[in-house]
Amino acid sequence: MARVVHLGQQVWNNYHQTAACNLKSRIELANDEQPNGRAYLKAVAETVQALLKEAKQYQIPVRPVGAGWSPAPINVIEDGWLVETLRLNRTFKLAERNLHADCDLPAESLMLVQAGATVDEVYESAEEIGRSLRTGGASNGQSFAGACATGTHGSVWQEGGIQDHVRAVQLVTPERILWIEPKRSVLSDDFIAQTGSVIIRDDRIFAAAQLHVGAMGFVTALLIETDPIYMVQNIQKAAKIKREHIDWLCRGEFRKFSGAFGLNEEPYFQQLILNPFDPFDKKALLRFLYKRPYDASIPPPPPGQMGAGYDALTLLGKVMANSDLFKAELLQLAMEQAYPDNRDVDDPPAIATWGHTTEEHSPIASLFNGSVTMDRRKLSEAFDLIIDSFRRGGGGTVVTLRFVHKAQGLLAPAHWQDNVVIDFDGPNVESSHSGYKKVVEALDDAGIAFTRHWGKTNNLDQQRVQQDYDQDFADWKWAQAQVMPDAADRRVFANDELVKLGLI
């Protein structure tokens, strides 16, 4: 069994202090020493199942939590058990003999990851064995299961979300310990049996479990696929863009855009942070990452030169720690001051592994984060509408444009072939909320389809989720019922937000 530490009744706040709850108990799970990866997975799953059984018996709602980084109230539970996973953070290599005969992936590409391993810990473990993740979010402190739960993504335009790395999920319900894979088997039946799990091999159920929003059971481990290790070169700068550049991005002319501001080659990653009060007369913050072969002799440059830590949340948080004011000029000052040193095309190259492109984050203030995801080809049509309505709503956030390929998971917000994600990050004040609401209304009025981030402020409800995901939502519900046929099992995972979303 794993260790269960009861920390008792208390008030708990999520990381952004956007939601709080009164807990019956905060419970921390931790590993006990085990002989191998399978034994770790089995011990933890059995411990979790025992907790869930007890919760079901006494009708106590349970909320598994990773880093608690989601600003949306999906990670809180009133009068229930909050079960923390961050100390379930081991990662394990696989051997060829652990794979199923039908598996077409090389063993060295696979890693077993416990649910609470942070994204940073996974980056590090992967690098130690000469591997790398393909994409990730702007920071790296999320738990791997929590990041997958909401479809965390960055701006690698040929990749989807972090959940795209997942090849199998160990899910625990009050009645069962399940190992969920796609129809095409990945690990051998014998290996899976030693994790204490019963196998489900089904494409739809797997796609539902890849992005589970915390409503498919308790994830205790994930099997992920990695790439051979690579490096990226960072270019980051403040520069004025023109309206026509938005049209280039809309058409996916990334190489052309990169040629105008960065290197004359296809970027692996590109991101723009704009001042919505004056997007073309004031400088935007641009960041490009270009793929490079791994070279162990290159020492990693200081984090600032790799752009680490300058996601919009971080840079706003830094300024908001010193000032309550939030006006267009101040916003620009904030953007440019908090942005690390320029690393332009003429500067000595800053090159490091993927794991060095993000850094740790500390909570600074109550922040607002909202986003809309849409078909990238709608960007030109939506851009002015978004900026105008945001300003009419008195918004007070920066606006970030990120680009993502169609992501895996039935409930992936990035469900168009190519997506643009438009983020709104700023202080958690009324103007940020009203600006975001105006954007949502304007897109609806214009008939432009979009989805919203599960982990951020999103004002969603069941009707809207059904409308946005349609058959995928129906399939997700079907999959959930296969995993937890008994409604009493599903109720163990109920919280107000997930019920409102129609996910429980």
Ligand X SMILES: Cc1cc2nc3c(=O)[nH]c(=O)nc-3n(C[C@H](O)[C@H](O)[C@H](O)COP(=O)(O)OP(=O)(O)OC[C@H]3O[C@@H](n4cnc5c(N)ncnc54)[C@H](O)[C@@H]3O)c2cc1C
* Residue 75 contacts ligand X per CB under 6 A: yes
Alpha carbon distances (Å) from 170 to 195, 228, 340, 420: 9, 25, 40, 31
Secondary structure class of 143 (helix, strand, coil): strand
How many Å apart are CA 274 and CA 426, to the nearest integer?
Answer: 12
Nearest to 288 by CA among 245, 255, 335, 316: 255
Residues 6+ apart with CB under 8 A from 380: 246, 247, 250
Q: Residue 358: what residue type?
A: T
State the binding string over 346-365 for ligand X (x if CB under 6 A, else -): ---------------x----
Out of 81, 179, 218, 326, the only residue in the binding site for ligand X (CB under 6 A) is 218
Region from 137-145, 192-200, 246-254, 382-390 binding ligand X, contact rule CB under 6 A:
137-145
How many Å apart are CA 200 and CA 219, to the nearest integer?
Answer: 15
Specify the residue, 215 or 386, whose C-beta has the smaller distance to ligand X: 215
* Residue 126 contacts ligand X per CB under 6 A: no
* Residue 61 contacts ligand X per CB under 6 A: no
Region from 33-41, 70-78, 99-107, 276-284 binding ligand X, contact rule CB under 6 A:
70-78
Secondary structure class of 87 (helix, strand, coil): strand
How many Å apart are CA 60 and CA 81, to the nearest integer?
Answer: 7
Specify the residue, 99 or 162, whose C-beta has the smaller distance to ligand X: 162
Shortest separation between residue 140's beta carbon and ligand X, angstroms? 9
How many Å apart are CA 132 and CA 156, to the nearest integer?
Answer: 14
Specify the residue, 250 or 367, whose C-beta has the smaller distance to ligand X: 367
Specify the residue, 66 or 355, whose C-beta has the smaller distance to ligand X: 66
Place of tokens 């058409």: 251
* Residue 66 contacts ligand X per CB under 6 A: yes
Number of residues that bind ligand X (CB under 6 A): 36
Residues 306-335, interacting with ligand X (CB under 6 A): 311, 313
* Residue 153 contacts ligand X per CB under 6 A: yes
Give the residue nearest to ligand X (CB). Answer: 146
Shortest separation between residue 490's beta carbon and ligand X, angstroms? 13
State the binding string over 219-238 for ligand X (x if CB under 6 A, else -): x-------------------
Alpha carbon distances (Å) from 461 to 150, 464, 466: 16, 5, 9
Out of 455, 465, 469, 480, the only residue in the binding site for ligand X (CB under 6 A) is 455
Nearest to 63 by CA among 19, 98, 107, 33: 19
* Residue 139 contacts ligand X per CB under 6 A: yes
Out of 19, 43, 67, 503, the only residue in the binding site for ligand X (CB under 6 A) is 67
Secondary structure class of 133 (helix, strand, coil): coil
* Residue 376 contacts ligand X per CB under 6 A: no
231 and 298 Cβ atoms separated by less than 8 Å:
yes
Name the DSSP letter for residue 134.
Answer: S
| Six-digit token string for 76 | 């809180």
How many Å apart are CA 231 and CA 238, to the nearest integer?
Answer: 23
Region from 19-27, 132-140, 255-263, 436-444 binding ligand X, contact rule CB under 6 A:
132-140
* Residue 94 contacts ligand X per CB under 6 A: no
Specify the residue, 63 or 165, whose C-beta has the smaller distance to ligand X: 63
Out of 2, 19, 65, 401, the only residue in the binding site for ligand X (CB under 6 A) is 65
How many Å apart are CA 154 and CA 452, to the nearest integer?
Answer: 15
Rg (CA), the chain: 22
Specify the residue, 12 or 261, whose C-beta has the smaller distance to ligand X: 12
Chain contacts with ligand X (rule: CB under 6 A) = 15-16, 63-70, 74-75, 85, 115, 137-139, 142-143, 145-147, 149-150, 152-154, 213-214, 218-219, 311, 313, 361, 453, 455
